[in-house]
Structure 1
Amino acid sequence: MVGAGPAGRSLTHRLIRHGVATTLVDPHPTRSWTPTYAAWTDELPGWVHPEAIAATTAAIAAHAHRPIRIDRSYTVFHTDGLQRSLAVDDATVITARAREVAEHHVVLDDGRVLGATHVIDCRGPTGRPRPRQTAFGVVVPTAAARTAIGDAEAVLMDWRAPQSEDSWDADGPAPSFLYAVPVADDRTLLEETCLVGDPAVTIAELAQRLSRRLAGTGIDSRHAGHTERVSFPMLGATLRPWRCRPLRHGAAGGLLNPTTGYGVAAMLTAADDVAAAIVAGSDAVSVMWPARARAVWRLRVAGLGVLLDLDPAQTVDFFDAFLSLPPPAQRAYLSDRADLAGTLTTMARVFGTLDASGRRTVLRSVSRVDHAIGRASRRRRSSAR
């Protein structure tokens, strides 16, 4: 296992539980994780330890053109607790950087060669620095956060523009939204988020937007004690992760949803699938990437292209339509990696609510992404020959 982030550590943890002798390689295997991770509660496998959970809400609020209540439980991880709960004490942990990663061996930076029946690459995304998701957040007492989010337990997306603007200008910079979740019994994260941009909104700009958004609430984000900065690519090294050899697991291996940035729950769930495949002597790639999962991935990549092409006003229209769908329709698109019929149905429902301009943007974006995927596939076949 190469990489000790959430993907590598969770897969190592589950392989050990399945009785598989595992070696974990990482230059900093005990480095503390710092991001705030979250997931829809129904995405989590049953083995997740209670110490990994910071808070769970029965529903979550949103706001695009109108306030929306999403009746679907939402869980915020306790980052330290999650890392501790994914115990790897029974693995062989090697503190080193991998210089070469192949299907049956790893070459370390000091020249050592490690042989293995299976090698899985769990390092983060490389080679595609854009597009990115960016965010800037502050952690404040929950009582203080009430002045910004009202009575909601948590806010998934508040697309209203910061106070100094009436609305997002169709010809202006990429929009951002407020994300607000409990991270402890008495602490709440308030985060200004650019869902995706190419280039993305800078952290500095998001910090300024958050300050403007919170103006008049009694919260001065410029003097907050704890801040969070987020910036990560929304795509891995390839548009066809099922063709990676060795298997890539995690954000770089297609388990990060490129339209939302969520991925930890998918990594936790898929860890058991990969472990079971290895124990059974099956091809883990085939288990992870059946035809329907590949098709859903392509649709999600197309969805990313749509989000990048929507202007700010269209973006709010799009999410007003999506967030107004019933939770089962949202779940089909957001959470199930292999629900092709559900994904297509949800996309069609959102498409049907858009105006003519929005529909033209969607069709143009999907066509361009399909062309790019096809071109990448042809290049790979040509190089193979």
Structure 2
Amino acid sequence: MRIPARPHGRGVTADLVVCGLGPAGRALAHRGLAHGLAVTVIDPAPQRRWTATYAAWADELPDWLPPEAIAATVPRPMAWGTRAHQLDRRYVVLNTARLQTSLSLSGAQIIADHAVEVSPRRVTVASGGSLAARVIDARGLTRSPTRAEQTAYGVIVNAERGAGLDPLFMDWRADNGAQPDETPSFLYAVPLDDERMLLEETCLAGRPAVTGSRLRMRLHHRLRARGVRLTGAEPVEQVRFPLQGGHPGPHRFGAAGGFLHPATGYSVAAALAAADAVVAGQDVWTPAARIVHYLRSAGLRALLALPPADLPLFFDMFFELPAAAQHAYLSGRTDLTGTVDAMRTLFSVLPWRLRRRVGPATLGIPVPSRGRRGSAMMEQ
């Protein structure tokens, strides 16, 4: 449906205005153009190049994404809690530059400015102009001490240096030098292409999360323990973003609109997959989708409530669930039955000492803290 727009003083009219040009916003604008809409995008630095590494399960990606946007495929990645688990599901790492290029904005009106007042039918920019149209806010989430965050510190090595490491979705083994009562982190190791590999120490969720400097020390400690020597000249990737704060609804998209998985931090594939439906004005926040989002937020509370030393055991239990249950919890946005079954099955196999913490935390009941994590980490 085309929604007429009134000029905002620059001669700009639009059917769709997208605020924010990260992967979610750019994908939405790109698909709007593909469907013949007049699209305006607003971002303070519309030409900036993305530097983060994005990945997804292969079955999450939409058919319209060109194959060249995929840099590497791992047919069956490994996961470690206290023992090894091979995941029977293809995992892909995206080529960041090609992904950005493939989401072409050719034909869009681009405003290099800050969106300062955003409503469903009007946006005002910092320079004072405004535009009336269908407006979607895709500016991401702001950081806050009250929000759990994911942090990571990684290095990019040549494939020969990383040859002794299997691709790892997550590896919680205790060889990174962290103390038992510290917020834990895991090793993420994936190929970026045929010649390079990303080795990244990741704090899945923390409030506060592990700092980049501490993750750097843990990564170097872990790699030394596994015989991987660094020169100090390796390119570095650092990650920090909130896991909380998204608000599901028709006028926000990407992390700002609740597309970020609260318990894993993944969001790009979900945004790519939903872009066409959002452009078409469909309600992508059905009652089932909203409940799934709520349940996954409860899953984040459960993760924050676990004693640090027990997280590897928790993930042993998760990765021993049937593949369908893992898929339902990790991917998609509307499988309410699958999500409930996955959470219920996982709870049933957890040791009793973990059930006593996971159960109340999932229900939003504050759980006394352990170790150095602090009682604030147990509150949503």
TM-score, normalised with respect to structure 1: 0.87
Aligned counterpart for 1:366 among listed residues 359, 362, 375:
362
Alignment of 1:162-173 (within 5 A): 162=175, 164=177, 169=180, 172-173=181-182
Aligned counterpart for 1:144 among listed residues 147, 157, 161:
161
What residue ranges of structure 2 are gaps of 5+ in the alignment? 1-17, 367-380
Whole-Å separation in 2 of the counterparts to 1:289 and 1:276: 14
Query: Does the alignment pair 1:125 with 2:121?
Result: no
TM-superposed CA distance for 1:236, in Å, is 2.3
- The letter of the residue matching 1:105 is R
TM-superposed CA distance for 1:369, in Å, is 6.3
Q: Map Cα deviations across residues 269-304 of structure 1 (whole Å, 9 max, x no partner).
A: 110111122xxxxxx4xx111000011011011000
2:377 aligned partner:
none
1:255 aligned partner:
259
Contact in 1 for aligned 2:156/2:235 (Cα 8 Å): yes
Whole-Å separation in 2 of the counterparts to 1:79 and 1:230: 15
Contact in 1 for aligned 2:143/2:242 (Cα 8 Å): no
2:218 aligned partner:
209
Taking a change above 3 Å as real, the CA distance of residues 141 and 313 of structure 1, as seen in their structure-2 partners, is: same
1:305 aligned partner:
301
2:24 aligned partner:
7
Contact in 2 for aligned 1:235/1:252 (Cα 8 Å): no
Taking a change above 3 Å as real, the CA distance of residues 360 and 228 of structure 1, as seen in their structure-2 partners, is: same
Whole-Å separation in 1 of the counterparts to 2:293 and 2:224: 40
TM-superposed CA distance for 1:363, in Å, is 1.3
Alignment of 1:216-231 (within 5 A): 216-221=225-230, 223-231=232-240
Normalized per residue, which structure has more helix? Answer: 1
- The letter of the residue matching 1:161 is A
Whole-Å separation in 2 of the counterparts to 1:263 and 1:318: 23
SS of the residue corresponding to residue 182 of structure 2 reads: coil
Q: Map Cα deviations across residues 172-214 of structure 1 (whole Å, 9 max, x no partner).
A: 1111110000011110000000000011011111000001101
Taking a change above 3 Å as real, the CA distance of residues 127 and 194 of structure 1, as seen in their structure-2 partners, is: closer
Whole-Å separation in 2 of the counterparts to 1:231 and 1:355: 32
1:135 aligned partner:
152
Whole-Å separation in 2 of the counterparts to 1:362 and 1:216: 32
Aligned counterpart for 2:338 among listed residues 326, 336, 342:
342
SS of the residue corresponding to residue 142 of structure 2 reads: coil
Whole-Å separation in 2 of the counterparts to 1:218 and 1:207: 16
Contact in 2 for aligned 1:179/1:191 (Cα 8 Å): yes
2:197 aligned partner:
188
Give the stretch that moved more between structures: 124-133 or 358-367.
Answer: 124-133
Whole-Å separation in 1 of the counterparts to 2:137 and 2:177: 46
TM-superposed CA distance for 1:72, in Å, is 0.2
2:370 aligned partner:
none
Query: Does the alignment pair 1:161 with 2:161?
Result: no
Query: Does the alignment pair 1:232 with 2:241?
Result: yes
Contact in 2 for aligned 1:134/1:231 (Cα 8 Å): yes
C-alpha RMSD of matched pairs (Å): 1.6
Contact in 1 for aligned 2:143/2:241 (Cα 8 Å): no
Taking a change above 3 Å as real, the CA distance of residues 253 and 163 of structure 1, as seen in their structure-2 partners, is: closer
Whole-Å separation in 2 of the counterparts to 1:134 and 1:234: 10
Contact in 1 for aligned 2:42/2:111 (Cα 8 Å): yes
2:33 aligned partner:
16
- The letter of the residue matching 1:181 is V
TM-superposed CA distance for 1:329, in Å, is 1.3
Whole-Å separation in 2 of the counterparts to 1:260 and 1:216: 27
- The letter of the residue matching 2:349 is T
- The letter of the residue matching 2:130 is V
Q: Kindly, what percent of the aligned residue pairs are identical? A: 48
TM-superposed CA distance for 1:356, in Å, is 1.1
Whole-Å separation in 2 of the counterparts to 1:124 and 1:343: 25
Aligned counterpart for 2:183 among listed residues 174, 180, 191:
174
SS of the residue corresponding to residue 24 of structure 1 reads: strand
Whole-Å separation in 2 of the counterparts to 1:263 and 1:237: 11
Q: Map Cα deviations across residues 306-347 of structure 1 (whole Å, 9 max, x no partner).
A: 011101122111101111223221110110211011001111
1:49 aligned partner:
66
Whole-Å separation in 2 of the counterparts to 1:71 and 1:131: 30
Contact in 2 for aligned 1:128/1:236 (Cα 8 Å): no
Aligned counterpart for 1:321 among listed residues 305, 317, 322:
317
1:199 aligned partner:
208
SS of the residue corresponding to residue 144 of structure 1 reads: coil
Whole-Å separation in 1 of the counterparts to 2:275 and 2:64: 11
Whole-Å separation in 2 of the counterparts to 1:140 and 1:299: 38
Q: Map Cα deviations across residues 39-81 of structure 1 (whole Å, 9 max, x no partner).
A: 0000000111122111012110111121110010001000001
In the alignment of these two chains, the number of paired residues is 348
Taking a change above 3 Å as real, the CA distance of residues 216 and 315 of structure 1, as seen in their structure-2 partners, is: closer
Q: Map Cα deviations across residues 136-189 of structure 1 (whole Å, 9 max, x no partner).
A: 001101121123x2xx3x210111012557xx62xx111111000001111000
Whole-Å separation in 2 of the counterparts to 1:363 and 1:63: 24
What residue ranges of structure 1 are gaps of 5+ in the alignment? 278-283, 371-385
- The letter of the residue matching 1:341 is T
2:112 aligned partner:
95
2:126 aligned partner:
109
Deviant stretches of 4+, over 3 Å: 216-222
